[in-house]
Chains A and B, each alone.
Chain A
Amino acid sequence: MRHKFIRRQLPVLLYGELTGWKRALTDRHLRRCEECRREYRQLQALHGLLSAAGEPPLREEDLQAARQALRTAAGTRWSGSLIGAPARERRSKRRVVVAAVPALAGAAAGFAIATLAWSGGGDDRALLEGLPPEQLRIENVRFLGNDDAGQEVELSLEAVRPVRIRGSVEDPEIQRLLARAILSEGNAGVRLRAVRVARTPGPDAVDPEIRRALLTAMTTDENAGVRMAALEVVRQLPLNRESRDALLHVILYDVNAGLRMAAIDALEQFMTEFTQEDEAALRNHRGELESDDNAYVRWKAKTVLLERGAL
């Protein structure tokens, strides 16, 4: 009994964190017990071996893939020069882009940031009029050219100012901004936040535009976290043909195993509401479901759906 207790203390002792009576007891025991001393020496040898192993091998292609995924998720907020990506070709034409990043509604205040870039030929200085200088932030300045004498210079830049929006999540204007953010905001963190805000009013109050945006995000967003958050909201909504098809799409095609698992869990919860059409849709893809790379998805498809009569 004593040996078992002492051996459970040895890893803690090894890392210098055994204190008090347990430390005293263990030290005394080790002085007397060759068997436990041998065990401790083995732990010390293991410690040395593991320390000598260093970092797990990091394949450059894995790191490259991570960079690419990050660049894609970051979207237009970052230039093409991000870590070895091909430099974006400079354009002589500039586009006007207005993007609103929505705020939290209700009691929590937030900020929406309007980003303006200039378009067309000529001087767009008029667009800066009326914007308080202390609230204006200039970003991404690009020198497009200057004359030989150095007397004139052409710039493109982005002027960013905070825009504050406050209101109910059920407000149609807020709903449109949220849907827009879910679908087109370049920053994955903002898209994620927009998805989470969209769930706030509850399943009966979600705007159809939001619902469609959630289904689109669930199936096509580049960021797995956003897709997952969208799925979590969708599974709280009543099932319809669109959401069934979207969940099936995730199960069949999403590269992320966690998402495929979550989607098949979501389908299972709707099992009692399945129509003949739903069952037929699943039967048509039975082979693909049962040959998924992920053991959980295969198991779920085979046992649960089969048992419930959907297959």
Chain B
Amino acid sequence: MGDRNEKKTSEGELLREARAGNQRAFEELLRRHERRVFSLALRLTGSPDEAQDIYQEVFLRVFTGLARFRGQSAFSTWVHRITINVSMTHLEMRRKRGQIEQLTAGPMLEEVGTPRQDTPESHLLSGETGARVQDALRTLPPQQRLVFTLRHYEGYKLREIARMMGCREGTVKRYLFDATHSLRQRLHDLL
């Protein structure tokens, strides 16, 4: 409990310092949140290149918007929402241009050849199984991946997702159904 309070105070102090123009404080805030931002962007877009662009945009927005952040939500929540908004804009731009997704299973399998050993989850799935799951997620069309990620991994309610996407809840439910159907087909032998 004492440690948690100390950490909370520490982030609050960092925020105050960063808003006062202390660069190192901002850098420390960035260090604490960057992996989460990058992971979320990667999960939402399926592309490391796009995740990099989103990462950059997110932290530039955080940097320029720090003075306006009033602490009505946790800093992590604020950064999280910016990441989702930027990712959704990114996906919408891509959708409008009718970009054909280049789905390449090969590189993903190579990447997960040596799964991360530093998280409890990595012990639950073998490298190959984990790779297949990540690949299946990556092959979802952008809207389905967005809805599925926000619902399954980020825990947003379907109504919230619909509001964020600017569409009806029924549409979100359809995306969720299509995504789970697609994932089940691709991973049926693992179930």
Contact = CB atoms under 8 A, between A and B. Distances in A.
Interface string B122-137: 1011000010011001
B8 interface: no
Most chain B beta-carbon neighbours within 10 Å: one of A52, A54, A189: A54
A86 interface: no
Interface residues of A, number: 60
Contacts, number: 162
B99 A46 contact: no
Nearest to A187: B64
Contact of B183 (A50, A58, A223, A265): A50
Contact of A258 (B24, B94, B130): B94
A54 B134 CA distance: 9
A189 B121 contact: no
Contacts of A139: 21
A63 B60 contact: no
Interface string B168-191: 000001001100100110011011
B23 A78 contact: yes
Given A66-B52, A262-B97, A12 B60 contact: no
Contacts of A189: 60-61, 63-64
A48 to B, nearest CB: 9
* Interface size range on B against A: 35 or more
Given A43-B184, A139-B21, A187-B64, A53 B133 contact: yes
B76 interface: no
Contact of A53 (B30, B134, B151, B188): B134
A54 B119 contact: yes
Contacts of A82: 23, 27, 30
A11 B180 contact: yes
A208 B184 CA distance: 57
Given A17-B157, A62-B48, A50 B133 contact: yes
Given A43-B180, A140-B23, A265 B133 contact: no
Most chain B beta-carbon neighbours within 10 Å: one of A42, A49, A52: A49
Contacts of B39: 55-56, 58
B191 A45 contact: yes
A74 B177 contact: no
A69 B38 CA distance: 13
A125 to B, nearest CB: 20
5 contacts: A62-B38, A66-B34, A82-B23, A188-B56, A223-B60
Given A62-B48, A189-B64, A294-B99, 18 more contacts: A14-B180, A15-B151, A43-B184, A46-B183, A53-B121, A54-B125, A62-B42, A69-B55, A69-B56, A70-B56, A73-B60, A82-B27, A83-B27, A83-B31, A139-B21, A257-B99, A295-B100, A296-B97
| Nearest 9 CB-CB pairings of A with B | A54-B121, A53-B133, A52-B124, A66-B52, A66-B55, A189-B64, A45-B191, A139-B21, A295-B100
Interface of A: 8, 11-12, 14-15, 17, 42-43, 45-47, 49-59, 62-63, 65-67, 69-70, 73-74, 77-79, 81-83, 137-140, 160, 187-190, 223-225, 228, 256-258, 261-262, 265, 293-296
